[in-house]
Chain A
């Protein structure tokens, strides 16, 4: 599943200001509200659901990346955003490193396959050192979007 199928272009954010796990999850969910992907009234419930999921085990998957996510009945299809924190923050990741790159996903409860395919795509790209480096260096939302588009083009070419 390509990034363009689930990442909301209006939501991506290159300059996350949060310093903690709670804050960054709220900040990322807010980008989806601002982009019109989720309703304001559902925001707090989605944040709580993502935090509950984190309590089961951090979604900090290593290499400075975290993939906070939840299922939520308010979305009809998988929606996601990408955020970059230049300073990084503690996300209780498996490898103990700070997280700088965030992929936040909200999926409908009945579509586990889409969620898995999105994770598969994200993970494939993260194995590419250049992709991680350039994503971490993104200064603007359009830097991020260009990188995601390039990754989509390369994955369809391979």
Chain B
């Protein structure tokens, strides 16, 4: 049996795109999230979304300037959080 590495990571990310976290960035995020083994969620004002689901992400209604808490739990949590935070910082390559 492989040893389990329970790792958690979290950080705050800000939506910087003028159009908010709309479908295209949500799709990029969902695709990226599926590349990792860890669970990944975003929280906004107490509402939690699964990063692998575009539908779930869209329910956040995250407009420009929204600050979200990104949380990961699993063996590759650190690298997942880092990669997703970069996606937010790069404005999802939209600007």
Q: Which residues of A contact B (CB under 8 A)?
A: 56-59, 61-63, 65, 67, 69, 94, 112-113, 115-117, 119-120, 122-124, 126-127
Contact = CB atoms under 8 A, between A and B. Distances in A.
Given A94-B30, A94-B31, A120-B60, A115 B22 contact: yes
Interface string B29-61: 011000000000000000000000111111111
Rank and list the top 7 A-B pairs by shortest CB-CB distance, nearest first: A120-B61, A123-B58, A112-B19, A61-B54, A123-B59, A116-B20, A123-B55
A119 B23 CA distance: 8
Interface residues of B, number: 22
A61 B22 contact: no
A58 B23 CA distance: 9
Contact of A127 (B19, B27, B55, B61): B55
B19 A120 contact: no
Contact of B56 (A65, A112, A127): A127
B86 interface: no
A124 B24 contact: no
Contacts of B62: 116
Interface of B: 18-24, 27-28, 30-31, 53-63
Contact of B19 (A56, A65, A115, A123): A115
A113 B19 CA distance: 7
A8 B56 CA distance: 25
A62 B24 contact: no
A94 B54 contact: yes
A127 B48 CA distance: 13
Nearest to B58: A123
A94 B27 contact: yes
Nearest to A58: B27
Contacts of A65: 55
B15 to A, nearest CB: 10
Contacts of B22: 112, 115-116, 119
